[in-house]
Amino acid sequence: MQKGKQHSGSGSAAGAAPAPYHPAGAEATSSAVFCTDLAKQFQVRSSEIALLRLEKGLLKFLFPEHLKTAGAIPVSSSSAVAAHTAMTKKVELFNNFVKVRHANIFEAVRAGGSEEGAPEQPPIQKLMSAPVLDAELKVMGVIQISRKGYELNSAGPDFTLDDLQQLEGAAKDLAKMRFLKENED
């Protein structure tokens, strides 16, 4: 069902321990600050980062800003990768994401809203997804990093297992962030 999956697991990938993640601080004060810093670390555009918080069975976007009002993803969704990540509590990596059956409704939402002339977003070609878990291993949310492009080759380099481990570290840092635990308006 999910062709193109490179890795899915608990994040215990073989290899050296990843470099620790140091966002603009473990003192990041908002999802925007945290995600913008994460984008720099992974050398992706900020529009290629998605942070969702679990609220009453729904994954709601905290970042990017233009998706906050676009709707929510039921954790029970069988076609949303974020929901799958939340349900399995496992990291996932796809370096050929266009071949993965997934809900792409949020990819169609333009960064400028529905305004005429707003640039069309290229599709996600590569994606990493990690659950954000609290100390009791309950899901608080999901963090995703993608590489977008009109073709696979134009989207940038493949994600590696080291990248996936770094994302897992970022998810652990996120679990401590106040903005993920409370409503941020």
CATH, residue 41: 3.30.450.40
- In this prediction, residue 65 carries a pLDDT of 85
Q: Which ranges of the chain have pLDDT less than 70?
A: 1-28, 101-119, 183-185
CA 165 to chain centre: 14
> How many separate domains does the chain show?
1
Identify the bridge partners of residue 31 per DSSP, sorted by sequence position.
Answer: none
- In this prediction, residue 119 carries a pLDDT of 56
Q: Assess if residue 17 is contained within a domain.
A: no
Distance of alpha carbon 54 from alpha carbon 60, whole angstroms: 6
Q: Assess if residue 18 is contained within a domain.
A: no
- In this prediction, residue 163 carries a pLDDT of 97
Q: Which domain holds residue 78?
A: 5-12+24-181
Task: Please name the residue that has the structure tokens 């977008």.
Answer: 148
